């Protein structure tokens, strides 16, 4: 079970990868695809495809998390680039990137199924941020 973190910013997913490793441990395979090929803000289908392949080399299944919706267009192109078999092993999460990545990684680190990992990530959508009074 591995995660692919997709963002318009390479710096953002680099930091998030550190955070995920520190919170969930380093057993969960994580790859990042941030920014464009020439280092600008944006997303790149080839970089996303490469990150997905990297995770699929190390894990049976992969869950992709995105920062902003427009990354979904590049992701779609990246998925088209994968073989049918590989594509079956990839799930796309609607979860917010930071919270979703942390929750998914912790769930993955305890050996949960891919369905449980996706559900954990998506529970971040309604996660309270400020402490309740």
Residues of this chain that bind another protein (CB under 8 A): 22-25, 102-103, 106-107, 109-111, 120, 123-124, 127-128, 131-132
- Write the DSSP symbol of residue 116: H
- Residue 13 CB-density burial (10 A; 0-12 exposed, 13-18 middle, 19+ buried): buried
H-only helix segments in the chain: 10-24, 45-58, 71-80, 84-88, 97-109, 114-122
CB of 52 to another protein, least distance (A): 25
CB of 80 to another protein, least distance (A): 33
CB of 30 to another protein, least distance (A): 14
Here the tokens at position 122 are: 């998506």
- Write the DSSP symbol of residue 123: G
Catalytic positions, please?
Answer: 8
Q: Which of 79, 106 has the CB closer to another protein? A: 106
Q: Which of 74, 93 has the CB closer to another protein? A: 93
Cβ neighbors of 76 (< 8 A, separation 6 or more) are none
Q: Which of 5, 71 has the CB closer to another protein? A: 5
């Amino acid at each position: 079970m591995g995660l692919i973190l997709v963002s318009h910013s390479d710096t953002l997913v680099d930091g998030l990868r550190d955070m995920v490793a520190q919170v969930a441990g380093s057993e969960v395979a994580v790859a990042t695809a941030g920014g464009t090929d020439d280092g600008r803000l944006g997303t790149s289908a080839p970089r996303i495809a490469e990150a997905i392949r990297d995770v699929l080399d190390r894990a049976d299944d992969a869950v992709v998390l995105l920062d902003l919706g427009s990354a979904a267009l590049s992701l779609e192109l990246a998925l088209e680039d994968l073989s049918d078999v590989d594509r079956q092993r990839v799930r796309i999460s609607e979860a917010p990137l930071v919270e979703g990545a942390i929750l998914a990684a912790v769930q993955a680190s305890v050996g949960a199924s891919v369905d449980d990992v996706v559900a954990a990530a998506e529970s971040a959508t309604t996660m309270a941020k400020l402490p309740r009074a």
